[in-house]
């Protein structure tokens, strides 16, 4: 484990030492209170770990013995159990910050190799103990909640000590690594070989290869490097039925490709021990720049035209009017009021880009010829859709801060605010309808749940992953937290989340584009897949996990 877990927050995002960008900025808190229609923002600190009740583990030495015999370290101290008690969703943080840690994993098992991992899963199968596969633990959909199912105990098998890059095939441009390797370690090891994977989710620093695959994750350059299911070539899993290896061909017609069942399995079939994936040469050229459009619709049409013309974009990130406005305001609130801002606003208004304008970050990277071709085509398509190029500076700013968004949640939660994100995807022809429906559902539910007359939420959205046939929609929303204690806060979150999820289901979206299904999306996933598809997933699970010990309660399996 190259990332020292003691440097991480157990009940919040990322490094404990990360500087709070919002601290002491009362102008900003005032702006937020006004936007949310509340008179003030209370102080709502988290409970310290020492003040949390940690029930003792029910596991005996006899239970733990087989895991140690398998060569695994076994931990059951309070700090480790607390770290593995939840993922990183808002719902998880409500529990953790209130000190409600139960359920907790009864022990944490650390295999150092695929072989040890297979032995650990076999021991759990033998012992009738539920297993939560745990990589970085950054799930935002309840994917690592230590649910026992019908079993007598539950352990987390933490993969982060299986963290070696095993091979790079420079001719085939693939690499093989153990699944518990963290993002930066993996990219650094690949970079040393002259290649890269290019999977940069917002959780990049704190999440692992195996987690990306298990949850069908997507990075911020997924237009170029692909979503996990696209770059995954083959995987090996430790399952209760034994070691399972999937196909590793560039393409095949020898029946269905079962590697596709690994992506999205979320630990319900077994633990991914290592995987082979596509790599790329490190880019020798890159061009990231920003454009402004007169409306979200105009920007959407530009994104659609770019991907449908097969322009090799790496990133196309289009913010809606609210997100563009909000981040513009946020940026200005972090410095003094400037004369330059007013001049800028006046110029943009002259160009027809007033309050409704939308910002797009358009990035291309690769070799010089590809970048020249991509940049030129993106510029001409953006221009044809009324886009105004505003240079590289806003794109550079976004790029530099692209992993920092989740850090904002902790200070917001310290000031009585709820903040969550959700995302979906649909066909281009359905994107406008789905966008309107989800945004309305969120705004209505946040207002209804604000608990204050005139109270309301803020809803920001963007398109960050696009395909020839459709795109994802990502929503960030902030609301005044209920003031009746943890259960009231949970009920409030559930009401808002359910309203949005119901709107997604009713308007042709998938319940998740890249966060996964976990426990939180299970019921919408079941409806989305349909009864026969769920029967197939259950039959697959029974084949590999006959006792149902693997990550109970996730995906509705």
Scan residues 244-303 and list those touching a copy of itself (CB under 8 A): 244-258, 260-266, 278, 281
User: Assign residue 173 a region: left if phi > 0, alpha if psi is -120 to 50, beta otherwise?
Assistant: left
Exposed e or buried b for every residue in 86-106, given b needs 16+ CB within 10 A?
bbbbbbbbbbbbbbbbeebbb
Nearer to a copy of itself, 58 or 432 (CB): 432
Instruction: Please tell me whether residue 79 binds a copy of itself under the rule CB under 8 A.
Output: no
Instruction: Please tell me whether residue 127 binds a copy of itself under the rule CB under 8 A.
Output: no
Nearer to a copy of itself, 214 or 361 (CB): 214
> Among 4-12, 291-299, 318-326, 424-432, which window interacts with a copy of itself (CB under 8 A)?
424-432
Rounded least distance, CB 267 to a copy of itself, Å = 12
Instruction: Please tell me whether residue 470 binds a copy of itself under the rule CB under 8 A.
Output: yes
> Among 333-341, 396-404, 438-446, 464-472, which window interacts with a copy of itself (CB under 8 A)?
464-472
* Tokens matching residue 81: 């159990």
Give the chain's radius of gyration (CA, Å).
23
Instruction: Please tell me whether residue 172 binds a copy of itself under the rule CB under 8 A.
Output: yes
Tell me, by CB under 8 A, how many residues bind a copy of itself.
89
Per annotation, catalytic residue among 291, 407, 474, 477? 474
CA torsion sign for 216, 217, 218, 219 is negative
- CB under 8 Å to 137, separation ≥6 — which residues? 83, 84, 86, 87, 88, 144, 206
Angstrom distance (rounded) from CA 251 to CA 254: 9
Nearer to a copy of itself, 14 or 516 (CB): 516
Q: Which of 21, 6, 7 is nearest to 407 (CA)?
A: 21
Nearer to a copy of itself, 392 or 506 (CB): 506
Active site residue 288: no
The mark string for 363-402 relative to a copy of itself (x by CB under 8 A, - otherwise) is ---xx-xx--x---x-------------------------
Instruction: Please tell me whether residue 512 binds a copy of itself under the rule CB under 8 A.
Output: yes
Angstrom distance (rounded) from CA 274 to CA 277: 10
Site residues for a copy of itself, 199-218, by CB under 8 A, read: 215-218
Instruction: Please tell me whether residue 84 binds a copy of itself under the rule CB under 8 A.
Output: no
Angstrom distance (rounded) from CA 277 to CA 248: 9
The mark string for 37-76 relative to a copy of itself (x by CB under 8 A, - otherwise) is ----------------------------------------
Q: Which of 284, 281, 257, 220 is nearest to 463 (CA)?
A: 220
Angstrom distance (rounded) from CA 533 to CA 556: 12
* Tokens matching residue 153: 């105990």
Inter-residue contact 135 to 533 (CB < 8 Å): no
Instruction: Please tell me whether residue 29 binds a copy of itself under the rule CB under 8 A.
Output: no
DSSP states of 253-266: -SS--THHHHTT-T
Nearer to a copy of itself, 179 or 537 (CB): 537
Angstrom distance (rounded) from CA 378 to CA 395: 15
Inter-residue contact 280 to 198 (CB < 8 Å): yes
Contact with a copy of itself (CB under 8 A): which of 92, 410, 528, 545? 528
Nearer to a copy of itself, 443 or 503 (CB): 503
Rounded least distance, CB 215 to a copy of itself, Å = 6
Q: How far is CA 70 from the centre of its chain?
A: 32
Nearer to a copy of itself, 85 or 438 (CB): 438
Instruction: Just list the catalytic residues.
Output: 474
């Amino acid at each position: 484990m190259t990332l020292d877990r003691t440097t991480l927050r157990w009940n919040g995002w990322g490094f404990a030492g990360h500087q709070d960008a919002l601290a002491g900025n009362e102008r900003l808190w005032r702006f937020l209170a006004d936007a949310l229609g509340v008179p003030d923002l209370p102080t709502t600190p988290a409970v310290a770990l020492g003040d949390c009740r940690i029930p003792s583990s029910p596991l005996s030495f006899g239970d733990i013995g087989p895991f140690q015999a398998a060569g695994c370290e076994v931990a059951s101290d309070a700090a480790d159990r607390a770290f593995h008690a939840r993922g990183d969703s808002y719902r998880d943080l409500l529990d953790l910050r209130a000190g409600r840690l139960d359920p907790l994993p009864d022990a944490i098992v650390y295999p150092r190799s695929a072989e040890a991992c297979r032995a650990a899963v076999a021991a759990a199968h033998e012992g009738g103990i539920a297993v939560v596969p745990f990589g970085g633990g950054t799930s935002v959909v309840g994917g690592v909640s230590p649910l026992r199912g019908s079993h007598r105990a539950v352990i987390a098998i933490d993969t982060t000590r299986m963290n070696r890059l095993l091979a790079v095939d420079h001719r085939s441009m693939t690499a093989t690594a153990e699944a518990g390797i963290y993002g930066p370690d993996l990219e650094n090891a690949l970079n040393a070989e002259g290649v890269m994977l290019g999977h940069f989710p917002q959780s990049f620093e704190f999440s692992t290869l195996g987690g990306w695959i298990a949850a069908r994750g997507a990075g911020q350059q997924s237009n170029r490097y692909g979503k996990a299911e696209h770059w995954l070539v083959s995987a090996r899993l430790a399952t209760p039925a034994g070691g399972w290896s999937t196909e590793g061909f560039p393409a095949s017609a020898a029946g269905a490709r079962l590697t596709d069942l690994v992506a999205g399995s979320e630990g319900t079939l077994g633990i991914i021990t290592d995987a082979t994936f596509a790599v790329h040469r490190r880019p020798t050229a890159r061009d990231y720049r920003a454009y402004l459009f007169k409306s979200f619709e105009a920007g959407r049409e530009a994104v659609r035209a770019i991907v449908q013309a097969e322009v090799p974009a790496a990133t196309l990130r289009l913010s809606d009017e609210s997100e563009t406005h909000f981040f513009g305001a946020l940026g200005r609130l972090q410095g003094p009021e400037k004369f330059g801002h007013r001049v800028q606003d006046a110029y943009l208004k002259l160009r027809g880009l007033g309050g409704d304008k939308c910002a797009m970050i358009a990035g291309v990277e690769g070799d010089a010829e590809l970048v020249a071709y991509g940049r030129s085509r993106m510029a001409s398509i953006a221009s044809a859709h009324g886009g105004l190029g505003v240079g590289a500076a806003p794109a550079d700013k976004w790029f530099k801060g692209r992993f920092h968004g989740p850090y904002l949640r902790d200070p917001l939660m310290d000031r009585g605010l709820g903040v969550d994100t959700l995302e979906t995807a649909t066909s281009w022809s359905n994107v406008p309808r789905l966008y309107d429906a989800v945004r309305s559902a969120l705004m209505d539910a946040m207002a209804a749940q604000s608990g204050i007359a005139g109270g309301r939420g803020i809803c920001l959205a963007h398109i960050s992953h696009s395909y020839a046939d459709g795109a994802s929609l990502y929503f960030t929303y902030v609301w005044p937290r209920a003031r009746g204690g943890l259960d009231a806060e949970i009920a409030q979150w559930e009401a808002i989340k359910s309203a949005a999820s119901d709107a997604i289901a009713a308007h042709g979206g998938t319940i998740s584009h890249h966060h996964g299904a976990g426990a939180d999306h299970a019921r919408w996933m079941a409806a989305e897949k349909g009864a026969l598809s769920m029967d197939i997933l259950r039959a697959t699970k029974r084949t590999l996990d006959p006792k149902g010990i693997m990550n109970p309660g996730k995906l509705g399996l």
